[in-house]
């Protein structure tokens, strides 16, 4: 399988005009601090469009003079806005409205609007990330990246982690203090009757919050009766196999694709068929030529591992075929919350008029791996079967964690955390791209999937050895895998998958230096 050359399209022009904040301002609310007041004035203008994407904010000194408040107060408000993803900026480039404005769900639940928040400390140390435009012309980043000091010897000697660890949520960003308080509060609220209840489909309040979240963030119209709380996406895939498949059925998976798909579905059928993807993802035309297909597994938002986003035309083609052929479609929506250069497409499930899509997602990917809470939105006809399968397998999750997560979603803590993490991961994405620009020198840089998620795919130029690149990643402590490891029968072009979400920038800089030394034809000193 030969993938086309793929490059990133930068967001709107990097030319930024300073926004006027001489508009009328509302007086502070009762009990509202000056910092909160400044923050609210700017945030409301961003959400109403008065401050458009890319608009440069006045300097902290200038705004402090205009609004007659202390400069330190403005600086604190600017830090909060950057931490929550509304603005971005680096030393020397000022502060400007971020390229990706938080979507409908992620605009809700701000401090002071609904009382005490479970996630109130989510605006902490890691919140100064910049959402940088990306230019893939060799050696020309769209603007300087916020690098700190060079890696220390201790950082350079940091032991390598398994490749998948670099493609995970960074648990260090999570507001664990607030979460711990939420767990304690949930435990205090539990009644003996609640402890005795059997909720195989999941805690009702959590299912309601998940349905609300998916409606706002992913465009999925559903209710709590369609939501099943799981331990993660793999749990959902296993249930799909258990409930829907017989030994004679065919399951189509993307090739290259999710490496765990085959072992998950194989216990239920021997007919697991890898289907080579094309430039738009899952190849529906090829699928139509196969008989006996009962289920297909796709990653339409950010194809694993290439990062391709399935266009709407292909999504409609897939849904049309599924409805005609009676095929169930499993939508693996593993990292859709993290888009860096534009709003994501609505979920495949949002277009599912025939109710053939099972939408699977996971809070393990957005919060921290050890949480072990995911979800599926299932067709109404399948909801009783999924609940019964959960009951029989005894896989119901901890009630206390489910109650705490429901509160975290309701009070805006989840939205704040995702906004903050989105900015941090964007900065690390930029650092990974900068490392690759350093590696290729004057040559063209070809990547895919860099617009979203936790990883990107670097299509290697002629003369590069994937094994050496993987070894450089190991030395730097960055997860790097040969794309061939994700393939079953397809033969992808030479490339490597680079995970960056849980990797600090020092290690990514180290990777750039190691790769630059491997550049074919580079003179050795």
Mean pLDDT of the residues in the chain: 83
Cβ-defined contacts of 84-89 (< 8 Å, 24+): 84/123, 84/127, 84/416, 84/419, 84/420, 85/131, 85/419, 85/420, 85/422, 85/423, 86/42, 86/43, 86/46, 86/419, 87/42, 87/46, 87/57, 88/129, 88/130, 88/131, 88/132, 88/423, 89/130
Question: Is 447 within 8 Å of 305 (Cβ atoms)?
Answer: no
- Inform me whether the pLDDT recorded for 104 exceeds 80: no
Q: What confidence tier does 81 reach under pLDDT thresholds 50, 70, 90?
A: confident
Q: How many helices (H) and strands (E) does the chain have?
A: 17, 13
**What pLDDT, on a 0 to 100 scale, did the predictor assign at position 92?**
58
Is residue 199 a part of any domain in this protein? yes
Q: Which pLDDT score, from 0 to 100, does residue 138 have? A: 32
Taking CA atoms, 372 is separated from 161, 194, 242, 362, in Å, by 21, 21, 20, 8
Most confident of 96-100, 216-220, 366-370: 366-370
User: How far from 446 is each of 176, 325, 459, CA to CA, in Å?
Assistant: 38, 37, 6
Dist CA 455 CA 516 (whole Å): 20
Q: Virtual CA dihedral for 152, 95, 86, 423, nearest 10 degrees?
A: -20
Q: What is the pLDDT of residue 154?
A: 38
pLDDT band at 91 (very low <50, low <70, confident <90, very high): very low
Q: Is residue 427 part of a domain?
A: no
DSSP SS3 for 93:
coil
Task: Give dist(CA 314, CA 305) in Å, integer.
Answer: 18
3 state SS of 297: strand
* Greater model confidence, 322 or 346: 322
Query: How much is the average pLDDT of 415-433?
Result: 93
Q: What is the CATH number of the domain that holds 324?
A: 3.40.640.10
Check pLDDT > 70 for residue 141: no
Q: What is the pLDDT of residue 6?
A: 41
What is the three-class DSSP state of 375? strand
* Average pLDDT of span 261-290: 96
Q: Greater confidence, 234 or 136?
A: 234
Are the beta carbons of 413 and 122 closer than 8 angstroms?
A: yes
Max Cα-Cα span within the chain:
74
Overall average pLDDT of the 231-253 stretch: 96
Say whether pLDDT at 241 is over 80: yes
Q: Which of 102-106, 141-145, 323-327 has the highest mean pLDDT?
A: 323-327
DSSP string, 420-453: HHHHHHHHHHHHHHHHHHHHHTTS---EESTTBS
Domain of 374, in residue numbers: 178-414
pLDDT tens for 26-47 read 788 888 899 989 988 888 888 7
Residue 121 has what pLDDT? 34
Strand partners, 330: 297, 358
Res. 127: pLDDT tops 80: no
Give me the pLDDT at residue 382, please: 96
More confident residue, 142 or 52: 52
pLDDT at residue 240 tops 80? yes
Residues 234, 297: Cα–Cα separation, whole Å: 12
Percent with pLDDT over 90 in the chain: 62
Q: Which pLDDT tens digit goes with each residue over 349-358?
A: 999 999 999 9
Degrees to nearest 5, angle at CA 136 with 134 and 139: 105
In this predicted model, what pLDDT tens digit does every residue of 154-188 receive, in sequence order? 334 454 556 667 789 999 999 999 999 999 999 99
pLDDT reading at 7 higher than 70: no
369 found inside a domain? yes
277 phi and psi angles, rounded to 5 deg: -80, 170
Q: Does 119 score more than 60 pLDDT? A: no
Count Cβ atoms below 10 Å from residue 32 Cβ, excluding itself.
14
Average pLDDT of the segment spanning 256-285: 96
Q: How many CB atoms lie within 10 A of CB 41?
A: 18
| Residue 499 forms part of a structural domain | no
Q: What is the mean pLDDT of the segment spanning 225-241?
A: 96
Q: Does 25 map to a domain?
A: no
Task: Give me the mean pLDDT over the 503-519 stretch.
Answer: 96
Residue 491 to residue 83: CA distance in whole angstroms: 42
Could you tell me if 310 and 303 are in contact, meaning their C-beta atoms sit under 8 angstroms apart?
yes
Alpha helix (H) ranges present in 271-311?
284-288
Mean pLDDT of the region 101-110: 55
Split into its structural domains, the chain has a count of 1
Q: Is 142 exposed, middle or buried (0-12, 13-18, 19+ CB in 10 A)?
A: middle
Closest by CA to 446, choosing from 513, 495, 515, is 495
485 domain residue, yes or no: no
Whole-number Å distance between alpha carbons of 211 and 383? 14
Q: Regarding predicted confidence, which is higher, 211 or 162?
A: 211
pLDDT cut 70: percent of the chain above it: 80
- Reported as a pLDDT band with limits 50, 70 and 90, residue 197 is confident
pLDDT over 70 (residue 149) = no
* pLDDT digit string, tens, across residues 306-315: 999 998 889 9
219 within a domain of the structure (yes/no): yes
Under a CB-based contact definition with an 8 Å cutoff, are residues 425 and 452 in contact? no
Q: What is the reported pTM?
A: 0.75
Q: For position 164, what pLDDT does the model report?
A: 64
Residue 76 tokens, joined: 């604190």
Mean pLDDT of the region 327-344? 88
Name the 3-class secondary structure at 129: coil
Query: Is residue 150 assigned to a domain?
Result: no
């Amino acid at each position: 399988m030969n993938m086309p050359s793929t490059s990133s399209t930068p967001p709107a022009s990097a030319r930024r005009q300073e926004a006027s904040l001489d508009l009328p301002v509302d007086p502070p609310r009762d009990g509202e601090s000056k910092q909160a007041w400044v923050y609210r004035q700017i945030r409301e203008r961003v959400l109403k469009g008065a401050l458009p994407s890319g608009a440069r904010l006045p300097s902290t000194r200038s705004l402090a003079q205009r609004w007659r408040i202390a400069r330190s107060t403005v600086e604190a408000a600017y830090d909060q806005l950057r931490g929550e993803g509304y603005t971005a900026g680096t030393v020397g480039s000022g502060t400007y409205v971020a390229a990706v404005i938080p979507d409908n769900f992620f605009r809700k639940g701000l401090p002071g609007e609904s009382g005490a928040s479970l996630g109130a400390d989510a605006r902490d140390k890691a919140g100064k990330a910049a959402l940088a435009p990306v230019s893939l012309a060799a050696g020309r980043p769209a603007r300087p990246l916020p690098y700190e000091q060079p890696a220390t010897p201790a950082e350079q000697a940091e032991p390598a982690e398994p490749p998948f660890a670099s493609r995970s949520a960074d648990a260090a960003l999570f507001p664990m203090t607030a979460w711990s308080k939420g767990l304690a509060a949930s435990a205090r609220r539990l009644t003996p009757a609640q402890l005795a209840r059997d909720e195989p489909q999941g805690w009702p309040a959590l299912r309601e919050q998940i349905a609300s979240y998916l409606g706002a963030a992913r465009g999925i119209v559903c209710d709590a009766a369609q939501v099943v709380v799981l331990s993660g996406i793999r749990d959902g895939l296993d249930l799909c196999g258990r409930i829907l498949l017989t030994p004679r059925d065919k399951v189509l998976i993307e090739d290259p694709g999710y490496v765990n798909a085959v072992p998950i579905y194989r216990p239920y059928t021997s007919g697991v068929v890898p289907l080579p993807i094309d430039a738009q993802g899952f190849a529906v035309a090829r699928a139509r030529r196969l008989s006996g297909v009962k289920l297909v597994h796709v990653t339409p938002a950010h194809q694993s591992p290439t990062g391709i986003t399935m266009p709407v035309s292909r999504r409609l083609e897939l849904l049309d075929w599924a409805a005609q052929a009676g095929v169930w479609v499993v939508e693996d929506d593993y990292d859709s919350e993290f888009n860096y250069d534009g709003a994501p497409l609505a979920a495949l499930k949002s277009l599912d008029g025939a109710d053939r899509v099972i939408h699977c997602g996971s809070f393990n990917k957005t919060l921290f791996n050890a949480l072990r809470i995911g979800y599926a939105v299932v067709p109404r006809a399948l909801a009783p079967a999924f609940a019964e399968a959960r009951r029989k397998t005894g896989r119901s999750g901890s009630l206390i964690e489910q109650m705490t997560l429901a509160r975290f979603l309701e009070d805006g803590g989840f939205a704040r955390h995702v906004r903050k993490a989105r900015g941090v991961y964007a900065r690390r994405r930029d650092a990974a791209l900068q490392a690759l620009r350093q590696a290729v020198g004057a040559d063209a840089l070809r990547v895919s999937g860099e617009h979203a998620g936790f990883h990107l795919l670097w299509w290697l130029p002629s003369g590069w050895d994937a094994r050496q690149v993987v070894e450089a990643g190991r030395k730097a402590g960055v997860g790097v895998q040969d794309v061939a490891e994700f393939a079953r029968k397809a033969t992808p072009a030479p490339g490597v998958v680079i995970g960056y979400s849980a990797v600090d920038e020092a290690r990514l800089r180290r990777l750039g230096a190691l790769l630059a030394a491997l550049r074919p034809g580079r003179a050795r000193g």
